[in-house]
């Protein structure tokens, strides 16, 4: 079954060695200018502040180089030879060579990314077992870890109306089966997190939708996942990922504050944090770092899909981060909350359709990692200088100095007392 893995070791990226840090003066495109993994900043190595992860679905699932206007892929890789189980197994070797040469510590995947679906749920699970056995061996060999896993409950036709919010109970039940299987896989692989992104949990029109019923069903789905996690002793952090629209006209997990309100409404706020994707945030009409800030302010920022959107296009373009200012503002939030662990910065990013060279896989990730690292360096400098904090403290000084203000903040004042 795994003849490719039994052959002599193949170097899938012969033109690329392990990426090294060379500093900001370097002109070598295959070197880091700002990301120096073991350099200590404010008591932590950069690798721990950043916790970089590669997204399997944008890098190794065989569908790269497509966009909303063409399903014909332009990224033709020698290791992609159809949809056989052997192809999926060989991609594991490709991926871990890539991870090691790039120097990342983590990766992420959906169940459909790493194993063929087959003709039934049972066959899919058997395939997933085979591939994840190999993933576990590669993790043990390399020390690379699974940042998070998740279930794809949006691509198959059965989920055309959603999964946790589907009007068809069979679709709901199938989604529960996939989720159970991926929670088992997450425990097997030692995943630090498990992500819930409701790609089709919403509606195209409310006129054919029982909105409250669907939200109740989604809460029941999340509650069952929490119960099963505890039953099997899986200690990963659970995160919900907000997105306002696409593919649905309205999604129930619209933005950070919507999700936080939903979790509180159903008593789930202690079981979940948020996985924030800034490209989703801008689709909701907010600034790039807005949802990071709001989630962190509520103690709910769990992990980050560190990508960016194209402001001139109206869809989720999943570009690599390239704006140092936005990276600084984002990493400032991470620094101020003391880090992002057990979450991380996952590159939910894809090469452009016209970016077809194999080396581009490295160049794009290097650029994204350097951008975030540059943001980290700037954020640390801001915090250490303390100037911004002094201005903020001065603006709110009356809340610290006025006895009645302190009483209000402690929740012990009465309205009539303050009115006087």
Short-list 318, 298, 204, CA closest to 258: 298
Q: What integer pLDDT is reported at residue 2 of this predicted model?
A: 56
Beta carbons within 8 Å of 2's beta carbon, 6+ residues apart: 86, 89, 134
Bond preceding residue 247 cis, omega within 30 of 0: yes
3-state helix, strand, coil in the chain (%, to 5): 45, 10, 40
How many beta carbons lie within 10 A of that of residue 76, not counting itself? 10
Q: Give the CA distances from residue 228 to residues 181, 182, 221, 224, 231, in Å, rounded to whole numbers and listed in that order.
A: 11, 11, 11, 6, 5
Read off the pLDDT of residues 130-189 as tens digits, 9 standing for 90 and up: 999 999 999 999 999 999 999 999 999 999 999 999 999 999 999 999 999 999 999 999
Beta carbons within 8 Å of 4's beta carbon, 6+ residues apart: 10, 86, 89, 90, 93
Task: Name the phi and psi angles at 268, rounded to 5.
Answer: -110, 10
Q: What integer pLDDT is reported at residue 4 of this predicted model?
A: 46
3-class DSSP assignment, residue 295? helix
Q: What integer pLDDT is reported at residue 7 of this predicted model?
A: 45
Q: What integer pLDDT is reported at residue 174 of this predicted model?
A: 98
Contact call for residues 136 and 143 (beta carbons, < 8 A): no
Q: What is the DSSP letter of 272?
A: E
Task: Name the phi and psi angles at 149, rounded to 5.
Answer: -120, 165
Q: What integer pLDDT is reported at residue 283 of this predicted model?
A: 94
Structure tokens at 77: 């890789």
Alpha carbons 370 and 102: distance in angstroms, whole number: 12
Structure tokens at 274: 């948020």
Mean pLDDT per 10-residue interval, the chain, length 420 residues: 56 97 98 98 98 97 84 91 94 98 98 96 97 98 98 97 98 98 98 95 97 98 98 98 95 98 98 98 96 98 96 89 97 98 97 94 98 98 97 97 97 96
Task: Name the phi and psi angles at 20, rounded to 5.
Answer: -115, 160
Alpha carbons 149 and 185: distance in angstroms, whole number: 8
Contact call for residues 93 and 10 (beta carbons, < 8 A): yes
Short-list 69, 144, 67, 66, CA closest to 105: 144
Q: What integer pLDDT is reported at residue 345 of this predicted model?
A: 98
Q: What integer pLDDT is reported at residue 5 of this predicted model?
A: 46
Is the C-alpha dihedral spanning 41, 44, 49, 51 positive or negative?
A: positive
Contact call for residues 127 and 116 (beta carbons, < 8 A): yes
């Amino acid at each position: 079954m795994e003849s490719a893995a039994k052959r002599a070791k193949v170097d899938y990226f012969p033109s690329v060695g392990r990426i090294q840090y060379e500093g900001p003066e370097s002109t070598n495109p295959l070197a880091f200018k700002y990301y120096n993994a073991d350099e200590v900043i404010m008591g932590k190595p950069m690798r721990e502040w950043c916790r970089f992860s590669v997204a399997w679905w944008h890098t190794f699932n065989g569908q790269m180089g497509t966009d909303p206007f063409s399903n014909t892929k332009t990224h033709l890789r020698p290791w992609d030879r159809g949809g056989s189980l052997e192809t999926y197994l060989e991609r594991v070797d490709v991926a871990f060579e890539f991870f090691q040469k790039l120097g990342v510590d983590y990766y992420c995947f959906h169940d459909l990314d790493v194993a063929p679906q087959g003709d039934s749920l049972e066959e899919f699970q058997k395939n997933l077992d085979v591939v994840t056995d190999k993933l576990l061996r590669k993790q043990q060999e390399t020390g690379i870890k699974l940042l998070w896993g998740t279930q794809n409950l949006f691509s198959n036709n059965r989920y055309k109306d959603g999964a946790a919010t589907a009007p068809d109970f069979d679709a709901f039940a199938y989604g529960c089966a996939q989720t159970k299987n991926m929670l088992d896989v997450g425990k097997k692989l030692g995943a630090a997190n498990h992500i819930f992104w409701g790609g089709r949990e919403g509606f195209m029109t409310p006129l054919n939708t029982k909105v409250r019923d669907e939200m109740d069903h989604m809460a029941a789905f999340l509650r069952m996942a929490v119960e099963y996690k505890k039953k099997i002793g899986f200690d990963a952090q659970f995160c919900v990922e907000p997105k306002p629209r696409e593919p649905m006209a309205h999604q129930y997990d619209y933005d950070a504050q919507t999700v936080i309100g939903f979790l509180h409404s159903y008593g789930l706020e202690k079981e979940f944090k948020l996985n924030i994707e800034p490209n989703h945030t801008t689709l909701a009409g907010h600034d790039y770092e807005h949802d990071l800030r709001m989630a962190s302010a509520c103690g709910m920022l769990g992990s980050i899909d560190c990508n960016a959107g194209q402001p001139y296009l109206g869809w989720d373009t999943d570009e690599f981060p390239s704006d140092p200012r936005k990276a600084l503002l984002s990493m400032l939030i991470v620094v101020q909350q003391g880090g992002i662990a057990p979450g991380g910065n996952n590159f939910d990013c894809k090469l452009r359709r016209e970016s077809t060279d194999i080396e581009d896989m490295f160049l794009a990730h290097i650029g994204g990692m350097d951008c975030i690292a540059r943001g980290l360096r700037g954020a640390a400098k801001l915090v250490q200088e303390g100037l911004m904090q002094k201005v903020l403290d001065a603006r709110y000084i009356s809340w610290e100095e006025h006895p009645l203000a302190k009483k209000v903040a402690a929740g012990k004042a009465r309205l009539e007392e303050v009115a006087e």
